[in-house]
């Protein structure tokens, strides 16, 4: 284990419109070690890594590699200087082969032409070295998410980098695959590679890392040796306050059964299979599961944006169909989609436009839309959701993530829904705004709405849900009642169930 630093990042600052993503971030990576970077979602870990990799340019601060000050304008320069990265989002060209994805940007050539044979051989060699069994000629889009993730790791390793960044590499890997990955990491550590490891999984962090740096709200909080840390200490550093204050008090009362779902199965596999549950008035039902456990598909099938093969959906004792979104909205459903940027907001339109979008028919006056009514409802959205905005005519794009999300929730509330389906409602939102969203969800439950909430953040589910349905590989692995005393082991129970059908 070396003591010399292969990478020193100090005083890094980065501003985005409306939010200061990094404010004095710091990271010192020693040669031949694994350095975990921890923090809540939105703490700035990925942003910091993107600054290192040249995807973003930092506004202030210094980055040194092996003592030399550098500043990368683009990822190519970073790769040329021995910095490789496994990205959190799988950045792959789905319609091209595995080997083309691996050698993209540096294809082996023979007399000016691409040497496919060498590319194939080299890919096999890297795969063999890392014990990965994937055909290099397969279309990458045909692989499973975990295979794609292994390919992405193999690609980063194949750069023979001095510094390797792994941004949530295990999010969709099974336990065995994680062990496999750790084997690879240990081998690279012996070769003297400095690795930055980003993950939310505490056990993994403590198992694999040498050093741990904790960030909060874009700031550097602490750097300590992993052997001196415990899970509780890390959480305390990450959250900056004890866990109890992260969530508003649960005041909602559970009423009668509102919705019954029986044997719901999607049409086009892989999707949800044979899902049954009940939802009561005023209840918050969490849905947990690993990436790829088909939680989003479940919501889409319920909402009618994905096709249903079989199963019953019963609202107020009456069977309903929800064949498409329009019908679902009429039946009192609302779906807050996962990818706020991709499927939620219309970025270059005003808050008014974004608020009234799902409810346009209510504003018709003699066949035309009434500006006055729309303006009134938007004002209601802004006031009741506490949206921070200069005016209702502001482009939604220029609001912070949390405020955008509030507008979208407001959009759905205007349709007076009874069942709210929320898919990762707090993703990419900073800590303070999360609390407000939680409060909003509990308030809605208080008003007798039924809420189904998908989230990948277990503390969040445990913090505000009444029951948690755990999905595993498309099926229901179990439903946990949070009123029973799980005293801290709910998280383990969820993890156990999430791996049930893998």
| Tokens of residue 303, six digits | 């909402």
Q: Which of 170, 252, 271, 426 binds another protein (CB under 8 A)?
A: 271
Q: Which of 176, 190, 228, 268 binds another protein (CB under 8 A)?
A: 268
Is residue 113 within the footprint of another protein (CB under 8 A)? yes
- In whole angstroms, what is the distance from residue 321 CA to residue 311 CA? 10
Binders of another protein in range 215-234 (CB under 8 A): none
> One symbol per residue from 18 to 57: x for binding another protein (CB under 8 A), - otherwise; what is it?
-----------------------------------x-x--
Q: Which of 57, 62, 91, 343 binds another protein (CB under 8 A)?
A: 91
Is residue 305 within the footprint of another protein (CB under 8 A)? yes
Is residue 306 within the footprint of another protein (CB under 8 A)? yes
Question: Candidates 36-44, 56-64, 100-108, 336-344 — which segment interacts with another protein by CB under 8 A?
Answer: 100-108
Is residue 107 within the footprint of another protein (CB under 8 A)? yes
Closer residue to another protein (CB): 213 or 301: 301
Least spacing, CB of residue 430 vs another protein, in Å = 23
* Burial (CB count <10 Å: 0-12, 13-18, 19+), residue 10: middle
Least spacing, CB of residue 481 vs another protein, in Å = 31
The runs of H, that is alpha helices, within 191-230 are: 202-208
Least spacing, CB of residue 343 vs another protein, in Å = 13
Sheet of 257-266: strand order equals 275-280, 257-266, 308-315, 318-320
CA distances from 93 to 17, 97, 98, 103, 254 (A): 29, 8, 9, 12, 47
Q: Taking Cα atoms as reference points, which of 386, 356, 354 lies closest to residue 374?
A: 356
* Burial (CB count <10 Å: 0-12, 13-18, 19+), residue 304: buried
| Tokens of residue 293, six digits | 């456990």
| Tokens of residue 264, six digits | 């719901």
Least spacing, CB of residue 12 vs another protein, in Å = 19
Q: Which of 25, 34, 37, 79 binds another protein (CB under 8 A)?
A: 79
Is residue 105 within the footprint of another protein (CB under 8 A)? yes
Is residue 341 within the footprint of another protein (CB under 8 A)? no
- In whole angstroms, what is the distance from residue 177 CA to residue 363 CA? 53
Least spacing, CB of residue 155 vs another protein, in Å = 8
CA distances from 497 to 49, 154, 468, 473, 502 (A): 32, 29, 11, 11, 10
Least spacing, CB of residue 314 vs another protein, in Å = 23
Q: Which of 75, 169, 282, 425 binds another protein (CB under 8 A)?
A: 75
Least spacing, CB of residue 332 vs another protein, in Å = 23
Closer residue to another protein (CB): 23 or 167: 167
Closer residue to another protein (CB): 69 or 89: 89
Question: Candidates 78-86, 182-190, 418-426, 442-450 — which segment interacts with another protein by CB under 8 A?
Answer: 78-86
Q: Taking Cα atoms as reference points, which of 311, 306, 298 lies closest to residue 323?
A: 306
| Tokens of residue 339, six digits | 């990818």
**3-state SS, one letter per residue, for 38-89:** ECCCCCCHHHHHHHHCCCCCCCEEEEEECCEEECCCCHHHHHHCCEEEECCC
Q: Which residue's entry shows tokens 């609302």?
A: 334
**Sign of the four-CA dihedral 313, 317, 318, 324:** negative
Binders of another protein in range 406-425 (CB under 8 A): none
Binders of another protein in range 144-203 (CB under 8 A): 155
**Strand 83-86 vs strand 163-167: parallel, antiparallel, or unpaired?**
parallel
Which residues are near another protein by CB under 8 A? 53, 55, 74-76, 78-80, 85, 87, 89, 91-96, 100-101, 104-107, 109, 112-114, 116, 155, 266-268, 271, 297, 300, 305-307
């Amino acid at each position: 284990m070396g003591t010399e630093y292969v990478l020193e990042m100090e005083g890094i600052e980065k501003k985005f419109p409306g939010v200061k993503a990094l404010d004095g971030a710091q990271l010192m990576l020693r040669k031949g070690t694994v350095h975990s970077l921890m923090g809540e979602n939105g703490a700035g870990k990925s942003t910091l890594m993107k600054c290192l990799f040249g995807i973003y340019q930092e506004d202030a601060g210094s980055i040194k590699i092996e003592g030399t000050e550098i500043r990368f304008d683009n990822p190519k320069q970073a790769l040329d200087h021995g910095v490789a990265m496994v990205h959190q989002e799988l950045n792959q060209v789905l319609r091209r082969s595995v080997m083309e994805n691996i050698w993209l940007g540096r294809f082996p050539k023979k007399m000016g032409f691409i040497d496919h044979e060498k590319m194939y051989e080299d890919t096999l060699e890297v795969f063999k070295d890392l014990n990965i069994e994937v055909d290099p000629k397969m279309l990458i889009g045909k692989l499973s998410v975990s295979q794609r993730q292994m390919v992405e790791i193999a690609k980063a390793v194949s750069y023979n980098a001095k510094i390797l960044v792994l941004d949530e590499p295990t999010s969709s890997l099974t336990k065995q695959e994680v062990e496999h990955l750790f084997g690879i990491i240990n081998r690279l550590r012996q070769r003297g590679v400095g690795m930055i490891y980003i993950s939310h999984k505490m056990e993994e962090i403590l198992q694999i890392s040498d050093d741990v740096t904790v960030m909060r709200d874009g700031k550097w909080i602490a750097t300590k040796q992993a052997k001196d840390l415990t899970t509780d200490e890390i959480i305390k550093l990450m959250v900056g306050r004890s866990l109890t204050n992260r969530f508003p008090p649960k005041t909602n009362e559970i009423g009668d059964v509102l919705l019954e779902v029986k044997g719901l199965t999607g049409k086009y596999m892989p999707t949800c299979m044979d899902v049954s549950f009940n939802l009561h008035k005023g209840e918050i039902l969490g849905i947990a599961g690993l990436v790829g456990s088909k939680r989003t598909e479940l919501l889409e099938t319920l909402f009618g944006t994905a096709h249903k093969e079989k199963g019953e959906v019963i609202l107020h004792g009456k069977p309903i169909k929800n064949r498409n979104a329009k019908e679902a909205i009429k039946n009192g459903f609302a779906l807050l989609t996962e990818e706020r940027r991709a499927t939620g907001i219309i970025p270059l339109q005003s808050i008014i436009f974004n608020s009234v979008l799902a409810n346009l028919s209510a504003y018709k006056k003699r066949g035309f839309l009434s500006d006055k009514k729309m303006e009134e409802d938007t004002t209601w959205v802004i006031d009741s959701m506490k949206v921070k905005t200069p005016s209702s005519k502001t482009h939604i794009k220029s609001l912070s993530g949390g405020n955008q999300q509030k507008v979208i929730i407001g959009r759905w509330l205007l349709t007076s829904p009874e069942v709210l389906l929320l898919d990762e409602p707090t993703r990419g939102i900073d800590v303070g705004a999360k609390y407000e969203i939680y409060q909003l969800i509990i308030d809605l439950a208080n008003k007798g709405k039924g809420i189904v909430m998908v989230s990948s953040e277990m503390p969040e589910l445990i913090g505000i849900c009444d029951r948690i349905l755990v999905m595993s590989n498309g099926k229901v692995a179990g439903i946990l009642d949070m009123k029973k005393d799980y005293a801290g082991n709910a998280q383990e129970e969820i993890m156990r169930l999430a791996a049930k059908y893998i």
